[in-house]
Structure 1
Amino acid sequence: MKLYNIQAERDLLGSIIIKPDNLCDCVDLLKGDDFFKDGHKLIYSAITRLYTSNKDVNVTTIAEALNSKLNIVGGITYISQLAGQTLQVESIKSYAEIIKKYSNARKLFAVLKKDTTRIEKTDADIKSIVRELQDLSLEFESKINADNGELDKPMANVLDSLEKRYLNGGAIQGIGTGYKKLDKTLNGLNRSDFIVISARPSMGKTAFAINMALNISKQHNISFFSLEMSKEQLLERALAAKALIKMNNIKSGKLTDEEWTSISQKSGLIVSSGLKIYDKVYSLNGIKAECKKRKLQEGLDVVIIDYLTLIDGAEKSNNRVQEVSKISRQLKLMAKELNIVVISLAQLSRAPEARNDHRPMLSDLRESGSIEQDADIVISLYRDEYYNLNTNDKGIIEAIIEKQRNGRTGFVKLAWKPEYQLITDKSPYVEDGTYSPDIFKNKGVQTSMN
């Protein structure tokens, strides 16, 4: 009985050599020992080490990584043949599943063969044999990075976190958003959380997201997936906010020498920060692959998606609510699997328009399905001056915390400067958080708001 598929192993390895990013489709499913051929085990392990070390993966680097074991795999000639005889494919998951199936079959065959010999002996412990088979079955069915249910390590993590907070005088536990009041309410952005930021159109969702991304990227790696706007459009907003230059001036190009200097300085800071923007990744699988790739190669802390209902789901459905529900669930699972914060923007339904108080409610989430169930935190944005011209809250954007699984709800008022696409804790704004009433001098910005 054949318990291997050499061709699948060759095709998978060849596909990865041709396109190293394909490794993201199988790195969590396959280990070197899952391959039948010893040479393939060594090649796959070498590729994995190179990729996760953020090194180039090609025939030469693989041969170098194998070092003294190169002859065992058939030399550099065999590695070249793998790449040369393989057709490029979009996904290698089917190859990986075939290899894993035969790997599991070999493990099962080995255990059954050993247990058959034990059963033939009259003194065999049948219960232990059954337990061994049950354990093997659970291993096959368990997910990657399965939890063993033990509490010693998690408890040690909790105590370590408590000690750090105590020593830091009660500092926030998670990643700072750059908004002190919001951080205090949320205790920062905490890893494995799925956060939804919702609003009606023109409330400032994207501006809030890009401002938060700029703040976070000073100390952390953040990936921003834009399914609606181009990188260039987002970067124009980022420059306006960072350099304190009006968007109209940036769009028209009417800039002073001082403004050009500021743009030059701030553009360099943005490029060298931990922010990456993707504007040509539209599918859920594509987003997950890019996140996994960056997590492996550089580290990844926060992901922002603009916005949820534009994501092309892995499974097509005539029921959009069900499709969005599956997407939101997968985003939550991705946050847990990669131990990152996932933030997704979402549109609200028209329901707030029909109420006297236009402030959004949790039930207003459009095509919500299980979004409000999957989300650990739901924040809705609201600007009263959009509806009430005579409001006292001009230049104010409310971040309404509709849901917080591990904390209290409430709201935080932030300063909104639309001409700069800027959202801050207070006005006037200084990057180090100090108060300076002269910061907007000659820029035509009112400084009465605190």
Structure 2
Amino acid sequence: MNNNEMQIVSEFLSDPSLATSIDLDSRWFDNQALGTFVEAINRLKGSNYTLEQVYREVRTINLMAGTLEEIEILASNANGGDVEQMAENVHADYLDRELAITAQNYALGRSIVDLDKLQRLTEERQEMALTRSDGNLQSAFVEFSQSLEQEPNIVETYKPIDDLLGGGVSGGKLIIVAGRPATGKTAFALNICEQMFEKNENVACDFFTLEMGQNELMTRLISKKTRINSMLFLKRNALSPENRKKAKIAYMDMLQRYDLKVYTSEFSKLNSIRAAIKKNHKRNKRYIAFVDYAGLITVTDSRKNERQVMNEVTRELKKLTTDLNITIFLLSQLSRAVEGRADGKPMLSDLKESGSLEQDANVVMLLSADKDKPEKICCDVAKNREGMTGTAPFVFNKKFMDFSIDFDIWRG
């Protein structure tokens, strides 16, 4: 039996507080009985569980997994060792086993699923091998001093939003844009994207649209640029010769001036999105990615429930923003609870699967429409780790997919 596996289970059984401070996944365990104990502990996480409670939880998972006496013996073997290091060793052993199995499966079947899994496992194993910081501040001081001499790497968007974000959008941030249907989430993201290109130089954007085609998305920008009713693009022969010409010119102008890539449903897998972002951020420009939207992203492990999938999505996208110093806008739905509220104003708790979306985001923007004047859209910056919270008012002209500042409310 793996000594690391047995010892870490002993420590977790002896000290319930460890379950809330150290991540431990039952899948990491080669010994199935110990893995069942870990699954039971994770279900009880957050409570000051007793060994009897762990045993009862184990019985609900697998009647044959173990006895209370075995659990008590395991708990008695706790010695207060370096639990974090043990967890890391168990995780590393698991990844090595999975890499060997997946590499063999891929060699035999050349499956894309196995290739995706192999890539994910390899990256995860490489990240574990990185040398951890010793906590010394000397190198941090040098980095800080150099940053003071550099121009701030900020991308401007709409002035009301930029004021709340400290001047604009900067790298290292996961920004959630959430709203109910008909509040114009996709159009809002596209308008922000367009503002970035028009107000800044040296900008590159990727737009992952998981429920539209490339040209379906681009016609929204064309409609804004040309002031051609967006509904006319649904039926091409509804466009006059003059409007067809204007649309082509607008499209060609964006191709020439915007460093914009649009990815469709072929990139619905989290691994595909991560790979594209890792490749494309190297364009030596200020890079921003838009992902529309969170609920359509899939992960390799089909056994995960909706909440677990969302946890993985937000965790991995947030990690990308930090590792690559980029900004990612992640669009999301709000729950129906908003509609039952008298003022119709959304709250952070209205985020679907709100736990990880709210926790991992640097900024959360909640879109809502005025009940009496639905063209008036409120963008509420409800969470902002590095700046202010507040409201940015807009007018949404659906005919042209255009968001403009509502100057009747915002005075600057």
TM-score range, shorter chain: 0.5 to 0.7
CA distance in 2, matches of 1:267, 1:237: 11
Deviates more, 1:370-379 or 1:249-258: 249-258
* 1:223 matched residue in structure 2: 206
One-letter identity of the residue aligned with 1:414: F
1:320 maps to which of 306, 311, 316: 306
**Are the counterparts in 2 of residues 201 and 347 from structure 1 also a CA contact under 8 Å?**
yes
* 2:234 matched residue in structure 1: 251
Taking only the aligned residue pairs, the percentage that are identical comes to 29
- When Rg is computed on C-alpha atoms for both structures, the one with the higher figure is 1
One-letter identity of the residue aligned with 1:243: T
Count of residue pairs the alignment pairs up: 295
* 1:417 matched residue in structure 2: 397
1:241 paired with 2:219, answer no
Quick one: structure 1 residues 97 and 414, their matched pair in 2 at CA, closer, same or farther if it must change by over 3 Å? closer
Quick one: structure 1 residues 331 and 259, their matched pair in 2 at CA, closer, same or farther if it must change by over 3 Å? same
CA distance in 2, matches of 1:419, 1:243: 11
One-letter identity of the residue aligned with 2:159: K
* 1:143 matched residue in structure 2: 130
Deviates more, 1:246-255 or 1:338-347: 246-255
**Are the counterparts in 1 of residues 174 and 362 from structure 2 also a CA contact under 8 Å?**
yes
Match of 1:201, SS? coil
CA distance in 2, matches of 1:418, 1:408: 29
**Are the counterparts in 2 of residues 395 and 415 from structure 1 also a CA contact under 8 Å?**
yes
CA distance in 1, matches of 2:173, 2:182: 26
CA distance in 2, matches of 1:269, 1:275: 12
CA distance in 2, matches of 1:255, 1:425: 29
One-letter identity of the residue aligned with 1:269: D
Quick one: structure 1 residues 249 and 320, their matched pair in 2 at CA, closer, same or farther if it must change by over 3 Å? closer
Let me know the Cα RMSD of the aligned residues.
3.3
1:369 paired with 2:355, answer yes
1:381 maps to which of 359, 367, 385: 367
1:268 paired with 2:252, answer yes
CA distance in 2, matches of 1:416, 1:96: 40
* 2:35 matched residue in structure 1: none
* 1:278 matched residue in structure 2: 263
One-letter identity of the residue aligned with 2:295: T
Quick one: structure 1 residues 367 and 260, their matched pair in 2 at CA, closer, same or farther if it must change by over 3 Å? same
Which residues in structure 2 correspond to 1:93-108 (within 5 Å)?
94=118
1:399 maps to which of 356, 363, 379: 379
**Are the counterparts in 2 of residues 195 and 342 from structure 1 also a CA contact under 8 Å?**
yes
**Are the counterparts in 2 of residues 231 and 278 from structure 1 also a CA contact under 8 Å?**
yes
* 1:438 matched residue in structure 2: none
| Structure 1 portions without partners, runs of 5+ | 1-84, 102-138, 166-171, 428-446
One-letter identity of the residue aligned with 1:259: N
Kindly state the Cα deviation for residue 339 of structure 1 after the two structures are TM-superposed.
1.5
* 1:213 matched residue in structure 2: 193
Quick one: structure 1 residues 183 and 297, their matched pair in 2 at CA, closer, same or farther if it must change by over 3 Å? closer
1:289 paired with 2:275, answer yes
1:349 maps to which of 332, 335, 340: 335
CA deviations on 1:285-328 (whole Å, 9 max, x unpaired) are: 01011111213466561111000111002333353112211211
**Are the counterparts in 2 of residues 199 and 348 from structure 1 also a CA contact under 8 Å?**
yes
* 1:32 matched residue in structure 2: none
One-letter identity of the residue aligned with 2:375: G
Kindly state the Cα deviation for residue 357 of structure 1 after the two structures are TM-superposed.
1.2
CA deviations on 1:45-88 (whole Å, 9 max, x unpaired) are: xxxxxxxxxxxxxxxxxxxxxxxxxxxxxxxxxxxxxxxx9996
**Are the counterparts in 2 of residues 294 and 300 from structure 1 also a CA contact under 8 Å?**
no
Which residues in structure 2 correspond to 1:109-188 (within 5 Å)?
141-143=128-130, 147=133, 149-152=135-138, 154-159=140-145, 161-162=147-148, 174-177=154-157, 179-187=158-166, 188=168
Kindly state the Cα deviation for residue 204 of structure 1 after the two structures are TM-superposed.
0.5
CA distance in 1, matches of 2:127, 2:341: 53
**Are the counterparts in 2 of residues 205 and 381 from structure 1 also a CA contact under 8 Å?**
yes
2:293 maps to which of 307, 319, 333: 307
CA deviations on 1:233-281 (whole Å, 9 max, x unpaired) are: 1011111012221112333343345433432321112223111000021
Which residues in structure 2 correspond to 1:70-89 (within 5 Å)?
none
Kindly state the Cα deviation for residue 159 of structure 1 after the two structures are TM-superposed.
4.7
Quick one: structure 1 residues 150 and 301, their matched pair in 2 at CA, closer, same or farther if it must change by over 3 Å? farther
Kindly state the Cα deviation for residue 92 of structure 1 after the two structures are TM-superposed.
8.0
Match of 2:267, SS? coil
Deviates more, 1:262-271 or 1:220-229: 262-271
* 1:189 matched residue in structure 2: 169
Kindly state the Cα deviation for residue 163 of structure 1 after the two structures are TM-superposed.
5.3
| Structure 2 portions without partners, runs of 5+ | 1-106
Match of 2:248, SS? helix
More RCO (CA 8 Å, sep 6+): 2
**Are the counterparts in 2 of residues 291 and 300 from structure 1 also a CA contact under 8 Å?**
no
CA deviations on 1:125-159 (whole Å, 9 max, x unpaired) are: xxxxxxxxxxxxxx994438x65645455445545
Quick one: structure 1 residues 298 and 314, their matched pair in 2 at CA, closer, same or farther if it must change by over 3 Å? farther
CA distance in 2, matches of 1:259, 1:231: 20
Quick one: structure 1 residues 417 and 319, their matched pair in 2 at CA, closer, same or farther if it must change by over 3 Å? same
